[in-house]
Amino acid sequence: MNRREFARAIAGAGLLAGLSARSIAWAAVASGVAPGDRLLRAQQAFLDLRFGMFIHLNMATYQQREWGDPKASPAMFNPRHLDAGQWARAARSANMGYGCLTTKHHDGFCLWPTKTRSANVMQSGYRHDIVRLYVDAFRKAGLKPCLYFSMLDLRDDIRAGVVTREGIDLIKAQLTELLTQYGPIPALIFDGWNASWSRIGYDQLPYREIRDLVKSLQPDCLVADHNAGRYPGPALYYTDIKQYEQHAGQKIPAGSAIPSQSGTTLQSDWFWKTDYPGQALRPAAQIVDEWLRPFNDNHCNLILNCAPNRDGLFDANVLARLAEIGKLWSNPGPAPTLSKAITITTDNLARGKPSFASSTADASGPDLAFDDNFGTYWQADAGQRDGWVEARFAMPVAFNTVSIIEPRHIEDYGDAARISHYRVQYESGGTWIDVVTGDEPASIELRQFPIMRANRVRLQLDSRTASPGVSEFGLYLEPVEG
């Protein structure tokens, strides 16, 4: 029985509320791995790679599109001279440390011979396992092979509002193939999941279920979701690595202390277009001096997309530019040391629950602190220097993690911090008991503690300046990771 199974067995017996998180983690101690250390080591090893190559090759390559047509015949796909060794040599020429291949993009075509029902290379004009060719070539060149996988699948109708158990099981079967047939994969980079444009939430396609599958198959594989547009920057929400789509304008916060990756393109877009061979590419100096080096100083890798052409090869201008980059930059060694970060991987227990507050200024109801929307907030009445918000539950809930997000930079709240002190409390027998307290919290405060169980949980805020507020007060029961 592993740690997680041990914890769940205790929970099933009704004993979980009486144990601390440290007690539950005891099952891991015999292995000599403290809870969270394994994840931290994997994150650090990923950052030590520093610079990677994104390889967008799929049906869209043949259609002058960024998303392939899900109705198009797989026979259209035919990179007849594909040479993954060329890709690997090009990555080495730029002194990159890893790659990432689009195994399945949003149209649902698979670059490996999946045994699921999905369209794949065995129905194409190029009947070869491209994932195999890629991982073998990159490993041979001393590079780490990561994989990209789209949760949005228009060909198999896995999209907002129609995600079925069958669709979830198809995704799990495909991930199982990718994680059992191709050796160690340092990171799986997910896309089209809980994004504003895909609208497939973690309630429809359950994050924790997918994460647990990945970790059960490859414990050191990082789960990295493209959700930086949805969740605040200074925290890890539903991802082991914060993914910034630089190409879409997402920027790393100054002084970021969490493991991150910023992705952009060498050519103008992600998939190859007919004008690319003659296109002016992004300057090598910009890539190295404006992006790569500064990002590395902020616990962030740069992953640079290089789109192969319809023959499955890089154009001459891509090869030349990558070699030019390699003359300006080489991996200086281990990345700045990470500190252990709390990662949110479960549902917010307080979302949508009955809520109450010390005041409701300007119709700013307490429900805004529990709506899972980081752009809304509750605030104490004008002139008040303290206040509280509270979530109530019909039955006692167990929780061991809280998030407190002050609404800085939102509307008229202002950029400056207002909260001088906070207390998270639960009610027991008419008495409010402190769970955690703190002074002058960061804009996003994540705290973990021994598991508590309560019907009522309150966040008390104090301020020395103006009326304090909170954008989101989250309650979570996070499994102990190891």
- Give every CB contact of residue 18 below 8 A, 6+ residues apart in sequence: none
Contact 191, 150 (CB under 8 A): yes
pLDDT at position 464 over 70: yes
- Helices (H), ranges, 306-358: 316-328
Cα–Cα dist 73/462, whole Å: 62
3-class state of residue 27 by DSSP: helix
Q: What is the pLDDT of residue 409?
A: 87
pLDDT of residue 267: 98
- List domains and CATH numbers for the chain: 38-328 (3.20.20.80), 346-476 (2.60.120.260)
Q: Provide the pLDDT for residue 61.
A: 98
Residues near 365 by beta carbon (within 8 Å), at least 6 away in sequence: 355, 357, 378
241 band by pLDDT with thresholds 50, 70 and 90: very high
The span from the CA of 219 to the CA of 161, in Å, is 31
Model pLDDT for residues 61-87, shown as the tens digit of each residue: 999 999 999 999 999 999 999 999 999
Does residue 435 carry a pLDDT above 80? yes
Q: Which of 253, 282, 251 is nearest to 269 (CA)?
A: 282
> The tokens 């992004």 sit on which residue?
282
SS3 for 31-75 is CCCCCCHHHHHHHHHHHHHCEEEEECCCHHHHCCCCCCCCCCCHH
- Choose among 411, 409, 393, 417: nearest CA to 475: 393
Percent of the chain's residues with pLDDT above 70: 91
- pLDDT, one tens digit per residue, over 35-52 is 469 999 999 999 999 999
The residues near 364 (Cβ < 8 Å, ≥ 6 apart) are: 377, 378, 379, 469
pLDDT reading at 262 higher than 80? yes
CA 197, CA 167: separation in Å to the nearest integer? 19
The C-alpha atoms of residue 114 and residue 182 are separated, in whole angstroms, by 13
386 forms beta bridges with: 462
Look up the pTM and report it.
0.90
pLDDT at residue 170 is higher than 80 = yes
355-357 and 386-405 strand pairing: antiparallel
From the CA atom positions of the chain, what is the Rg in Å? 24
> If you average pLDDT over residues 77-101, what whole number do you get?
98
CA distances from 329 to 212, 266, 286, 337, 367 (A): 37, 16, 12, 21, 50
Instruction: Report residue 233's pLDDT band, with 50, 70 and 90 as the boundaries.
Output: confident
Q: Which residue has the tokens 């281990």?
A: 334
* Cβ 378 vs Cβ 411: under 8 Å: no
In whole angstroms, give the CA distance from residue 44 to residue 32: 19
Rounded distance between C-alpha atoms, residue 24 and residue 32, angstroms:
15
For residue 424, give the nearest of 369, 383, 372 by alpha carbon: 369
Closest by Cα among 96, 111, 274 to 181: 111
Write down the pLDDT at residue 481: 59
Q: Are 475 and 457 within 8 A, CB to CB?
A: yes
Most distant CA atoms of the chain, gap in Å: 74
pLDDT of residue 9: 35
Other Cβ atoms within 10 Å of 23 Cβ, number = 15
Cross-strand pairs, 55 = 101
Query: What is d(CA 294, CA 288) in angstroms, rounded to the nearest whole number?
Result: 9
- b or e along 412-431 (b: 16 or more beta carbons within 10 Å of the residue's beta carbon)? ebeeeebbbbbbbbbeeeee
pLDDT at 363: 60
Residue 175's φ and ψ, nearest 5 degrees, are -65, -35
Average pLDDT score, the chain: 91
CA torsion sign for 332, 335, 212, 52 is negative
pLDDT for the residue numbered 13: 31
Distance in angstroms (rounded) separating the CA atoms of residues 275 and 256: 37
Pairing of strands 236-237, 187-191: unpaired
Which pLDDT score, from 0 to 100, does residue 184 have? Answer: 98
Sequence-separated (6 or more) residues with CB below 8 Å from residue 15? none
DSSP state of 142: T
**CA contacts within 13 A on the Cβ side of 158:** 28
| Tokens standing for residue 460 | 């008390």
Better-scored residue on pLDDT, 462 or 33: 462
Q: pLDDT tens, 344-386? A: 999 999 999 999 999 875 567 899 999 999 999 999 998 899 9
